[in-house]
Amino acid sequence: MDYLQKFWQERRREIIGGIVGLIIGIIIITLGFFKTIFVILCTVLGYYIGKNVDKKDDILNLLDKILPPGNR
């Protein structure tokens, strides 16, 4: 068990990168390239919105940053 903890501490980024690569590869095989890109973009957008909401940033200010201003 001590060996696994040491291995995790030393190679954490490589392990996470390998797992993410495997998941993206499986998604590309099952959904196709463009659908996978769409899923990744939605995930990144959701992370960005969630991160800013956690900072107590006003949602309207966030939408003004993301979307261009229009006629109100």
- The tokens for 64 are 């003004």
Return d(Cα 72, Cα 70) in angstroms, integer. 6
**How do residues 8-54 score in pLDDT, each as one tens digit?**
888 888 988 899 999 999 999 999 999 999 999 998 888 877 776 66
Return d(Cα 64, Cα 70) in angstroms, integer. 9
Q: What is the mean pLDDT of residues 54-58?
A: 64
Q: What is the mean pLDDT of residues 5-9?
A: 88
Return d(Cα 46, Cα 23) in angstroms, integer. 18
Return d(Cα 71, Cα 59) in angstroms, integer. 18
pTM (2 d.p.): 0.58
Residues in CB range of 24: below 8 A, 6 or more apart: 36, 40
